[in-house]
Each structure stands twice: as structure tokens, then as C-alpha cells.
Amino acid sequence: MLRGATIHTVSHGTLANGDLIFDQGKIIAVGNYITKIPYGTEIIDVKDQHIFPGLISSISTLGLQEIGAVRATRDYAEVGSVNPNVRANVSYNPDSELIPISRSNGVLFALSVPRSGLVSGMSSLMMLDGWTWEDATLKHPVGLHIFWPSMDVPKSKLGEEKDKKNKDIRQESIQVIDDLFHESHAYLKLKDSGSLSYKHDLRLEGILPTIKGEIPVFIHANEVRQIEAAVYWADRQNLAMVLVGGKDSWRVTQLLKERDIPVIYTQTHSTPMRRFENYDQTFITPFQLYEAGVKFCISNSESSFQTPHIRNLPYHAAKAASYGLPWEEALKSITLSSAE
């Protein structure tokens, strides 16, 4: 039992002089001046100390990468651009040296995400304490991840033919995603019908939890046209969507709120997208989302280069708090909101 601490419950406010009882790694009681104490409980005085919930890294490649320069340790990237059947948890390395480093600063959970191509696969929520990937897996699958094609087609110095080629590549990428989901709907109907024509397809099986509504689709997009295109596409497909990245999410808060689309914001420690934007735009975006009533959480950068720096997650929330986001909401954005 920990006695006399300031306990930040997040969901039920802050308890001054609070007590916390845990047994075999699980919290069994939280409150002020707990009197019903199990026999044999060891009481530890933690007066003037603060107790916080475990932090959650909502987007990462933790456990899927060790040394970025060594291809053999980059298990987050599969061959090919469409891999909906890929599972993050089976490739998770519980012996990674990056795990205890992340845990040392309060990060106890991480969503490990495969990231390559258009449809990268299914993410898994991992506990940062476990002997094997089976021990460490808290939930799988959490979501199917799609990296939306860039909607920006800059004018090429090579002429109109190059411009047309760039537009064609963008349209072809979107068509690949459309075709994949159309095939998956047809595959599901065939599977449910019990037809002799049905043949097990591992790739399409990876899409089924999403089109059945069992898990959301996590769409990675930052630029405003990307976000709008992704939202309208998910709406046409009748899919539950989570926006990941969201650098321009402050521009489309009304759309996100109307469609009830939560945002995993990963851009707190980045520079503005455009020269004419304020220097602090990426810092104040969480506050703008909060003011607009958009559900959001804060995560570290989703780049695989940031895997060793997941330990800095609380500083991302602190940056948002120093630029307008209420302190309680900043803490919530890396704990309860991430869990939700």
C-alpha cells in the first residue's frame, strides 16, 4: 500500500493525501484514508510524492525496430504495398533495449504499428513488460493502418506530361485501396454463403474485422486535402476511422467533430507545414482541437526514427500544455484519451 501521495486519477480528478493498494501488479483500491486494509499489507509512506497512471504511446514501432541502419532489425516494414494480413504483435521483440528506456519515463503501453506501403497491416497494443510477445500483447488487433497517398501534385519542371504522371500515380494508389475493400466485401459474402467457390485468402481475411465494424481503420494523413479525402472515403465505405498524424487537423475541426473522428496527434515537436503559418502552430493544435470539441490524444512522432525517443512522450504533452491546453487535458491526452 502506498499512503499519503497526491494521486492523479485522470478519470476522477486528483486525490490529495491519497492511498493506493495493489496486489500482484494490479490496483485493487484507490481513495483517501483507506481503512479496510488486507491483512499482511506492507505500508509505504510516499507523502509529498505524485502517482500518475501509466502513459500510453499511441503510435510507435517499439519492439519492431532496434537499429534503424540495420535492415534485419526493421520488422515494421514488409515487402509490397498492400499487407492487411500483417500482425505487429508476432514480430514484437520483448528483449528490445528500447523497451526499458521507454518504461523508465513512465511509458507502460505502446501501440506497435507496421508501416510500409499503402495498407501496412494491423497494430497491436503491447505491455512493456513481458517475457514473450504472447505475454506482452494486451490487445490485438487494434486497428488496420492505411497510409493515405499524398494529394499534393507540385508543378514539375519536366512539363505537363510529368504532372499528369504524378496525378495518375495518386489516383492509382487510391484505386488500389478501393479495389481491396470491394474485393473484401465480395469475399465476405462468398464466405458467409458457404459456397464451394470459397477459398481462404489470408490477405482479405485481414480486412474483414474492419468491414465488420470490429476494429477501426487508422488512416495516416497530415495535409488538409489528405485528411478530407480520407474522411470522405471512410464515410463512403461506412468505416469507423481514426486520424493519425493530423498536422492540418486544426483546419478541419468542424468536419472531424461532425463525423466523430478522433485524432492521434503526432506533430507537437515538428515545424509548421507552411512558411506563412505561425511558428507555434504545431504547439497550439492540441488546444484548438480541444476547443473545437474534437476527440484527440497526443503521441510521439510516428516516424520510425523516433522509436528510441518514445521516452519523451510526456514532453510532447507538456509542450501542448505550455501553449494553451489545460494541464489536466494534457495528462489525459497521453493516458485516458489514448486508451479510449
**Confidence band (pLDDT; 50, 70, 90) for 156?**
low
Residues 279 and 190 in one domain: yes
CB contact at 8 A, 8 and 53: yes
Q: How many CB atoms lie within 10 A of CB 104?
A: 9
Q: Is the pLDDT of residue 157 over 90?
A: no
Q: Is the pLDDT of residue 154 over 90?
A: no
**What are 264's three cell numbers?**
492521434
- Average pLDDT estimate for 153-174: 69
The residue written with cell numbers 479510449 in the block is 340
- Average pLDDT estimate for 108-127: 94
Residues 65 and 201 in one domain: yes
Residues 65 and 43 in one domain: no
Per-residue model confidence (pLDDT) at position 153 = 63
Residues 272 and 238 in one domain: yes
Residues 40 and 78 in one domain: no
Residues 175 and 231 in one domain: yes
**Confidence band (pLDDT; 50, 70, 90) for 139?**
very high
**Confidence band (pLDDT; 50, 70, 90) for 197?**
confident
CB contact at 8 A, 128 and 103: yes
Describe the strand order of the beta sheet including 124-127 as a list of residue ranges: 55-60, 107-112, 124-127, 137-139
**What are 317's three cell numbers?**
504533452
Residues 198 and 184 in one domain: yes
Q: Of 72, 23, 273, 147, which Cα lies nearest the Cα of 285?
A: 273
- Average pLDDT estimate for 221-249: 96
**CA 249 to each of CA 41, 49, 208, 213, 230: distance values in angstroms, whole numbers, following the listed order:** 49, 37, 28, 24, 12
Residues 102 and 191 in one domain: yes
Distance separating alpha carbons of residues 274 and 211, to the nearest angstrom: 36
- Residue-wise pLDDT for 252-308, tens only, equals 999 999 999 999 999 999 999 999 999 999 999 999 999 999 999 999 988 778 888
CA 164 to chain centre: 34
Residues 133 and 217 in one domain: yes
**CA 228 to each of CA 43, 82, 99, 148, 260: distance values in angstroms, whole numbers, following the listed order:** 54, 22, 36, 11, 14
Show the domain range for 42: 2-51
Q: Is-cis flag, bond preceding 141, omega within 30?
A: yes
**CA 72 to each of CA 67, 111, 285, 327: distance values in angstroms, whole numbers, following the listed order:** 9, 21, 37, 41
CB contact at 8 A, 34 and 19: yes
**Confidence band (pLDDT; 50, 70, 90) for 104?**
very high
Q: Is the pLDDT of residue 99 over 80?
A: yes
CA 322 to chain centre: 23
**Confidence band (pLDDT; 50, 70, 90) for 161?**
low
Q: pTM of the full predicted structure? A: 0.91
Per-residue model confidence (pLDDT) at position 305 = 80
Number of domains in the chain: 2
DSSP 37: -
CATH at residue 326 = 3.20.20.140
Per-residue model confidence (pLDDT) at position 109 = 96
Per-residue model confidence (pLDDT) at position 233 = 96
Distance separating alpha carbons of residues 130 and 117, to the nearest angstrom: 30
**What are 11's three cell numbers?**
478519470
CA angle 133, 135, 138 (to 5 degrees): 90
Per-residue model confidence (pLDDT) at position 155 = 60
- Residue-wise pLDDT for 5-30, tens only, equals 999 999 888 999 999 999 888 888 89
Which of residues 16, 35, 51 is at a domain's end?
Answer: 51
Torsion, Cα 275 277 281 285, to 10 degrees, reads -120
**What are 272's three cell numbers?**
509548421
Q: Is the pLDDT of residue 235 over 80?
A: yes
Residues 46 and 70 in one domain: no
Amino acid at 39: Y
Q: Is the pLDDT of residue 159 over 60?
A: no
- Residue-wise pLDDT for 28-82, tens only, equals 889 888 888 888 889 999 999 999 999 999 999 999 988 877 777 788 888 889 9
Residues 128 and 74 in one domain: yes
Q: Is the pLDDT of residue 167 over 80?
A: no
Q: Is the pLDDT of residue 211 over 90?
A: yes
Residues 30 and 78 in one domain: no
More confident site: 136 or 26:
136
222-243 per-residue burial string, b: 16 or more CB within 10 A, e: under 16: bbbebbbbbbebbeebebebbb
Q: Of 99, 92, 96, which Cα lies nearest the Cα of 121?
A: 92
CB contact at 8 A, 21 and 40: no
